[in-house]
Structure 1
Amino acid sequence: MLHRWHRSNLRANFKLRRLKQVPTEGRHLRKEDRERERERRIKVAQCMKDSERQREINRICMTAQRRMERCMVGTRLLATRTNAWLRGVTKVKDEVTSAIERKWTYSWRLAISADVK
């Protein structure tokens, strides 16, 4: 049995291989247009692969944060406590959500900055 990360990586590689193929309905296109379409499909597949990897990283971070919060409170995994209850007791902010907020805040500041490099 493959690990979950390997399965998602295989799935992404399969999508990448499939998207690298030149479309059959575009055989009447010029060679340059076919190459441009192929490059576009490769970029799309790479973005899909990166987003799957990012989802896996986010899942690992959420699991680690929840485990840390359980250690802070002193509960075991078998004591089924909801995430809202743990966050209420520990007063810890969600790490994945705060990272996304920091990313968008930085990108907004970068977009409206006056000094263009």
Structure 2
Amino acid sequence: MKPLQCFLCLLLPALAGCVPVPSPGVEGDPLRGKIALTQYACQSCHMIPAVPGSKVYVGRPLSDLSKRKVLAGTLENNQANLVRWIRDPQAINPHSAMPNMGVSERDAIDMSAYLLML
């Protein structure tokens, strides 16, 4: 690909508003987070906007996560708590059906950035 074509491939989606931008105060890379959600197979249990997968009803849909007041029934909905929940759900609720998937800190931050911008 020629340098000008590469530049246009990067620039045009940004101009069209296709590149997700995290909310103010939210850290991480939402595009990377979307990929990480797929890599950890989160769509196996959750319906996640723009993440392909079956229509499943094991876990709650994640389309409105940013609008919820609490996470896991007890935690204030903020990025730090979402990262904690993604990384070790049993530490917050030992009876949770959500498994500990061994998500890294960086992946959890990026995943939370994607989920909180929905």
Q: TM-score, normalised by structure 1?
A: 0.22
> Which entry has the higher C-alpha Rg, 1 or 2?
1
The answer to which structure has the higher helix fraction is 1
Q: TM-score, normalised by structure 2?
A: 0.22
